[in-house]
Amino acid sequence: MIVMKFGGTSVGDADRIAKAARLADESTSGPVLVVVSAMATVTNSLRALGRQAAEGDVEGYRRTLAALRETHQAVADALLEGDERLEVHRFIEQRLDEIGALCESLTVIGELTLRALDRIAGVGEKLSAALLAAALRARGRAAAFVDATAVVVTDSTFGGAAPLLDETRERAQAVIRPLIAQGIVPVVTGYVGSDKSGAPTTLGRGAGDYSAAIMGASLDADEVWVWTDVDGILTADPKIVSQACTLEELTYVEAAQLAYFGAEVLHPKTVQPLVTRGIPLRIRNTYHPEHPGTLIVDQSDKPRNGPRAIITSKGLSAVAVVGNTDGWSAGISARALVALSKAGSEVLMFGQSFVDKTISLLVRGQDTEAAVAALEREFVDDKEHGVVRQITVQRPVASVSVVGAAADDSFSLASRTFAALGKHRTPVLSIAQAYSEYNVTFVVPQEVVDETVCLIHAELGLGRGGTQ
């Protein structure tokens, strides 16, 4: 059995959903299970909708909800006909009506808890899974929508729940295995699960790949395929570096490092459920399905030649909490991180300077306003008493991570990287290096990031060992 996961770009509109259905139907002759993300940008819209409701912006959340309804119904109209289209329309209406009712409650409560945010944010996967299952049936392939809240059992850490793998395996065998035995393609919602009490949870931002790996491990899949919009994991973003090459094969450890530092084609936790069962993971391109992609395995005999890849994340914001001498302590940092966690704003990079009395926090651009508002609320008294002087934002910025693979890669990785940056007088806003010395990450103004990545790719000799 092959578990296939389709990300947001791979189900971003009617044409892409139709293509995903064709790939699921034709790419292998054996049993298939499909895991899907929400359509591109939908999860961000749902999170924004929840914030609008909690802030009392009734007109705003209703407008966002209406746009989501229109988008998904238009896709259903383009993909489907007859009773199938009517059934999917009803499904869309029911799910979005449920969210609308929850938003009405949030306008009264005036607070968006992580528990409520999980209920809202996970709806996008339900809509895309229903659409893809219907698209498969329209092709004549038996397919069934499966809500992962009935399969993936998690703890109660809302906003980033941990799966309980033994319980999930038991549920998967009971719920999904019979469908596969009947020749039905289960189309499972990624990203979501539920705790033991049945409360909906999410596995963290971008965790659709993780969901696919959990399904693969729970059902003893032969392989897990993650379909995305590039030919596997590359030495750099091909939109930035034209000489970037596909890495033909990686180990679980190498892939986990690259994912952790922001390789967008793979969620950092994806390999974890696969390791104990030795299930290979393959990254493939929906627009270039004949390409073998990148195969991720336990051990690799492929030759290594220095740093593996450069990972870039754009559209970020550098938020700083700037203090004064009196009253500043490490507790300020703890309070800032807790405040951002409660606001649902993920901190991508963190730094602290006791000399400058400053905390540096890297967040996604779309989380900037919510992050700053949370920090302003947390430190309102500290600002009044002079402990915190100001909260500043610099944007847009980008992070660049140079990632090694093995002991030989760690040799002078940081020194070679920063020698290249110094040679080209690249402005660096902040730096972080792992204790292992296998990687180094730095933040630069976004306007110089493309040039920076190109020069480092060339200076470090990347791209010579991949496949075109």
Per-residue pLDDT of the chain (468 residues), as tens digits, is 999 999 999 999 999 999 999 999 999 999 999 999 999 999 999 999 999 999 999 999 999 999 999 999 999 999 999 999 999 999 999 999 999 999 999 999 999 999 999 999 999 999 999 999 999 999 999 999 999 999 999 999 999 999 999 999 999 999 999 999 999 999 999 999 999 999 999 999 889 999 999 999 999 999 999 999 888 988 998 889 988 989 888 888 888 878 877 676 788 789 999 998 999 999 999 999 999 999 999 887 765 556 778 989 999 999 999 998 777 888 899 999 999 998 888 899 998 888 889 999 999 999 999 999 999 999 999 999 889 999 999 999 999 988 875 545 445 677 888 888 998 899 999 888 766 566 788 999 999 999 999 999 988 888 654 443
Q: What is the CA radius of gyration of the chain?
A: 23
pLDDT at residue 258, rounded to an integer: 81
Cα separation values, 351 from 153, 297, 366, 375, 401, Å: 34, 34, 21, 16, 16
pLDDT at residue 205, rounded to an integer: 83
pTM of the model: 0.78
Integer Cα distance of 296 and 246 in angstroms? 13
Integer Cα distance of 263 and 7 in angstroms? 14
Integer Cα distance of 162 and 74 in angstroms? 35
All residues at 6 or more sequence positions from 64 whose CB lies less than 8 Å from its CB, including other chains: 45, 48, 49, 52
Taking alpha carbons only, the member of 102, 123, 133, 122 closest to residue 17 is 133
pLDDT at residue 302, rounded to an integer: 67
Residue range(s) in the chain whose domain bears CATH number 3.30.2130.10 = 309-459
pLDDT at residue 376, rounded to an integer: 97
Side by side, the strands of the sheet bearing 281-285 are 143-146, 185-189, 32-36, 2-6, 223-228, 281-285, 294-297, 249-251
Integer Cα distance of 89 and 341 in angstroms? 35
Integer Cα distance of 466 and 39 in angstroms? 31
CB 152 within 8 A of CB 166: no
Integer Cα distance of 177 and 159 in angstroms? 28
pLDDT at residue 466, rounded to an integer: 44
Cα 2 → chain centroid: 22
Q: Which CATH number does 2-228+249-297 carry? A: 3.40.1160.10
pLDDT at residue 2, rounded to an integer: 98
pLDDT at residue 39, rounded to an integer: 97
For the domain made up of 309-459, the CATH class stated in words is alpha beta
CB 468 within 8 A of CB 244: no
Measured in degrees and rounded to the nearest 5, phi and psi for residue 405 equal -125, -35
